[in-house]
Amino acid sequence: MKVYQSDQIKNISLLGSSGSGKTTLAEAMLFEGGVITRRGEIENKNTVSDYHNVEHEYGYSIYSSVLFTEWLGKKINFIDCPGSDDFIGGAITSLNVTDTALMLLNATQGVEVGSENLFRYTEQHHKPVIIVINQLDHEKANFEQTHEQAIESFGKKVVIVQYPINAGDGYNALIDVLKMKMYKWKPEGGEPDVLDIPESEKEKAEEYHNALVEAAAENDENLMELFFEKGSLNEDQMRQGIHKGLMARDMFPVFCIAAKKDMGVRRLMEFLGNVVPFVSEMQKPVSKDGTEINCDPNGPTSIFVFKTSVEPHLGEVSFFKVLSGKIQEGMDLQNMNRNAKERVSQLYCVAGNTRHKITELVAGDIGATVKLKETHTNHTLNSKGCEYILDSIKYPNPKYRTAIKAVNESDEEKLSEILQRIHEEDPTINIEYSKELKQAIVSGQGEFHLNTMKWSIEHNDKLEIEFIKPRIPYRETITKMARADFRHKKQSGGAGQFGEVHLIIEPYFEGMPDTTIYKFNGQEFKINARNTDIVDLEWGGKLIFVNSIVGGAIDARFLPAILKGIMEKMEEGPLTGSYARDIRVIVYDGKMHPVDSNEISFKLAGRNAFSQAFREASPKILEPVYDVEVKVPSDKMGDIMSDLQGRRAIIEGMSSEKGFEIIKAKVPLKEMHKYSTSLSSITGGRASYTMSFSSYDKVPPEVQDQLLKAYAEETQEA
């Protein structure tokens, strides 16, 4: 296969909501470029990109697929990204390594919530966007409505390059206002007849043409002068203006296709080859130390591994982008993340489940290799002396969590290895082995996301697993002052044990003043703090430990043991066994024995005194509360509000954005279990949401009663 140079390579992301036709477009592009000789169909489970068993099971894309085609002497790498919000990681990964996004819109559905979300990610990554309106051959296709929604959602920079003449069942022609020609297809699609624009369309075509000329001229001062001078631009000048407008995100051209019939795909590819930016023209990636990495074939070799997957008969496949220099078969590189050497024994250009051997790839190109020993997703590999290292790709916070375990306990170790591999393949799946909850917690972007993972483990790894409702990481604290003392005394032959601790506890908050006098049951206790330990707790919050011992009632060497006993009880709160936090403890008195006092005695005395005082200090259970933002169509606003209120949500604000309503609320984590599923069910998949940790707040009294009762039953059974 030909080795393409940096100025011959274009890297494209195929984005769009589920059902917009990305995989079908990918098939047509591969076919037109001669990479495949026959177009597959999703219904027949024979497409190049959706080749995993689980994708055949569900009928749409779950994994992003790396593909390439050759067109007009150029190589177009493109990544077919899943449309479901549950698999957003594939789109984010793709936007990090490609230079332009094709945003597919379904002409029957218009701009969907998924399209809006994906467009926001293109904004964050500052990528050029081409809008492709697909499925114009569907009987319910509505180009005008889809175009209007695109302007409403993406702004007035949306500019028509093509519009259909007869969208719907008999669709077979479009007007291209860049070339000012009509493209007309026979029923089988493919190569069109290029005709003059009919009289009936000339006025409309001229109107769109003038708008395109003006938009193109706005991006170049010289073109603007030409435009004012001549009143128009020729085709090459328009391409130049569109090129600059794309790169600056000042123009979002609109193209028309019917991908299933291969109508409009050739012309779209021609535009990609002629107008969209080359990799060498785009913003340079920046290494962790702030160094810009030039897309220079003559520079030091540096590659970034953006995706790994395990393929049947091949093992682990590493997909990478060449950041700088050239990579050749047999080359030794240094893994900068693991400080390990790797030999690249084989190189491939990849088209889904097919691989084409190649001996060399240059800066800007995308390829794959196999059987690297230490290399995983987000790793940078360099030639000797090169110090580039890229930051890991950033993904959204998880939205759905569940506990997971193997049905057979003997398989737990195997499950752990599988989950680690899955996280490396899909970084949006997070694994946590919680000592606090005594559960393995797996988190992802939605219930379907994790159900897909479960299907894969059970069918591909042949390991039976089950999901369990995850426990909630509650916290315990106190709401008032309390005092307690405890004497630990044990005598059973030989050396005895003796330790007595008197202490006061009170709620702690940042900036609280030091109290010097406390009153309990009419008795006054004067406190003179000798020294204070501030313990930042691993689980959040603080423990303030104050030594106020006077007269040597307890030797200073026993204070660490008392603190240790208190910490043990903080790790297993008296109410529900949850971590305790935000408490100030003052040890003000006690007693020792000249022979029998030791560290264990004072640890136990401190632990029990703290436990007694905690129960008398009006203890409360705290629950994690999350900031939740829901984006919902206006007609479903009331239903979503009612559902949130049923989840103990506190609505904090509402606003409108491009045809959608945005609800901001604080919601307890306990109430967010399976929210993604409920939201999809209520809105027919038209809404989306994000969530991030906010704070710990007190649970309502009735919820605390339920938790105390459940804990009592659990401990009794144990």
The Cα–Cα gap between 486 and 142 comes to 78
Predicted local confidence at residue 718, as pLDDT: 53
With both helix axes pointing from N to C terminus, report the angle between 559-571 and 599-615 in degrees, rounded to the nearest 10: 50
Predicted local confidence at residue 561, as pLDDT: 97
**What pLDDT, in 10s, does the model give residues 438-486?**
999 999 998 999 999 999 999 989 999 999 999 999 999 999 999 999 9
Better-predicted residue by pLDDT, 393 or 231: 393
The Cα–Cα gap between 386 and 518 comes to 65
With both helix axes pointing from N to C terminus, report the angle between 221-230 and 199-217 in degrees, rounded to the nearest 10: 140
- The average pLDDT across 233-241 equals 90
Predicted local confidence at residue 231, as pLDDT: 78
Of 117, 119, 114, 105, the residue nearest 149 (C-alpha): 105
**What pLDDT, in 10s, does the model give residues 170-207?**
999 999 999 999 999 999 888 999 999 999 999 999 99
Predicted local confidence at residue 425, as pLDDT: 87
In words, the CATH class of domain 621-703 is alpha beta
Amino acid at 555: D
The Cα–Cα gap between 499 and 488 comes to 5
Are the C-beta atoms of residues 352 and 61 closer than 8 Å to each other?
no
Are the C-beta atoms of residues 518 and 588 closer than 8 Å to each other?
no
For residue 16, the surrounding DSSP H or E stretch is strand 9-16
The Cα–Cα gap between 103 and 14 comes to 6
- Indicate the domain borders of the chain: 8-281, 302-382, 401-471, 476-618, 621-703
Quickly state the pLDDT bin for 54 (edges 50, 70, 90). confident
Predicted local confidence at residue 491, as pLDDT: 77
Asked if 302-382 and 401-471 have one fold, the answer is no
**Residue the block writes with tokens 């709620």:** 507
Is pLDDT of 310 > 90? no
Domain 302-382 has CATH 2.40.30.10: yes
In words, the CATH class of domain 8-281 is alpha beta
Are the C-beta atoms of residues 33 and 50 closer than 8 Å to each other?
no
**What pLDDT, in 10s, does the model give residues 346-394?**
999 999 888 899 999 999 999 999 999 999 999 999 999 999 999 999 9
Is pLDDT of 493 > 80? no
- On average, the pLDDT of the chain sits at 93
Of 381, 370, 268, 297, the residue nearest 4 (C-alpha): 297
For residue 710, the surrounding DSSP H or E stretch is helix 701-717
DSSP string covering 463-523 = --EEEEPPPP--EEE-SS-EEEEEEEEE-SSSS-EEEEEEEEEEE--TTPPPP-EEEETTE
Is pLDDT of 421 > 80? yes
The Cα–Cα gap between 299 and 146 comes to 45
Are the C-beta atoms of residues 441 and 403 closer than 8 Å to each other?
yes
Lowest mean pLDDT among 37-41, 43-47, 311-315, 409-413: 311-315
Quickly state the pLDDT bin for 230 (edges 50, 70, 90). confident
Quickly state the pLDDT bin for 533 (edges 50, 70, 90). very high
**What pLDDT, in 10s, does the model give residues 553-575?**
999 999 999 999 999 999 988 88
For residue 709, the surrounding DSSP H or E stretch is helix 701-717
Q: Which CATH number fits domain 401-471: 3.40.50.300, 3.40.1710.10, 3.30.70.870, 3.40.190.10?
A: 3.30.70.870
First vs last C-alpha separation in the chain: 66
Fold observed for domain 476-618 = Ribosomal Protein S5; domain 2 (3.30.230)
Of 76, 51, 55, 61, the residue nearest 16 (C-alpha): 61
